[in-house]
Amino acid sequence: MTLIDFLIENQRDMTNNLLRHIELVGISVFIGIVISIPLGIVLSRHRKLAGTVLAIAGTIQTIPGLVMLGFALIFLGIGMLPALVILSLYAILPILRNTYTGITEVDPSYTEAARGIGMTNMQMLFKVELPLALSSIIGGIRISTVYIVSWATLASYIGAGGLGDPIWTGLATYNTKLILSGAVPSAILALVLSGLIGLLQRILTPRGLRGVRV
């Protein structure tokens, strides 16, 4: 059986795996965003706390994926939910760090000007700081997404499904075609998502800031 025949025969499996993978990535990145953007804003107001929180988040990030997988398996069991918990945890740090640095690196002259024309704290946040930090925040979302596409292939091991399924089975049975049918789509998915979010980042950057490296 050639690779082409194999692909045609397993088309439905591959499509299902791909859709499940996108689902896993979408949900966990969304949870990551919902947690880390507000947290990043709070941290930018309490800079002393920020060092500690970012250090803790950074340490969590150094825990290897396989180990996190083991923790999930032992403490949360198998299935999609444990996988989503772990993936969301991994999605937090890049977005959190970029939200924090994006806001804290806003030129003080802008915030002073905003203050000078009588903006309230909220107005300043939504009309000055967040728009200026947006490009950096989306950059964080892009890093998170790429990570999660990668970690999600691991999560298949604990029954989350997705493109990792054929890779794990292929590794266990030394089946090259199975490995390819998971590895190639997941690599392409990571590249496509990274490219799309990069494009979004460029579009959403305020016109005056384009061409300036953020």
Partner 1 sequence: MNMFSMIAEHMYIVFIAIAIAVVLGIFFGVVAYWVRYLDKIILWLTEVLQTIPSLALLALLMIVFGLGNTTIIVGLVLYALMPIVRNTFIGLNDVQPYLKDAAKGMGMTKLQRLIKVELPLSFPLIFSGIKIATVNSLSIAVMGVLIGAGGLGFPVYRGIQTRSLELILMGAIPVVLMALVFDYVMSNIERRLTLRTSDTNK
Query: Which residues are near partner 1 by CB under 8 A?
Result: 59, 62-67, 69-71, 73-74, 146, 149-154, 157, 163-164, 167, 170-171, 176, 179-180, 182-184, 186-187, 190-191, 194
Q: Which residue number, 16 or 111, has a Cβ lying nearer to partner 1? A: 16
Q: Which residue number, 100 or 151, has a Cβ lying nearer to partner 1? A: 151
Instruction: Report DSSP state, residue 160.
Output: -
- Rounded Cα distance between 177 and 1, Å, is 10
Residue 59: Cβ-neighbour burial (10 angstroms; 0-12, 13-18, 19+):
exposed
Q: Which residue number, 93 or 146, has a Cβ lying nearer to partner 1? A: 146
* Shortest Cβ 6–partner 1 spacing (Å): 14
* Shortest Cβ 75–partner 1 spacing (Å): 8
- Rounded Cα distance between 129 and 100, Å, is 11
Instruction: Name the amino acid, one letter, at 180.
Output: L
Q: How many helices and strands in the chain, by DSSP H and E?
A: 10, 0
* Shortest Cβ 69–partner 1 spacing (Å): 7
Q: Which residue number, 10 or 194, has a Cβ lying nearer to partner 1? A: 194
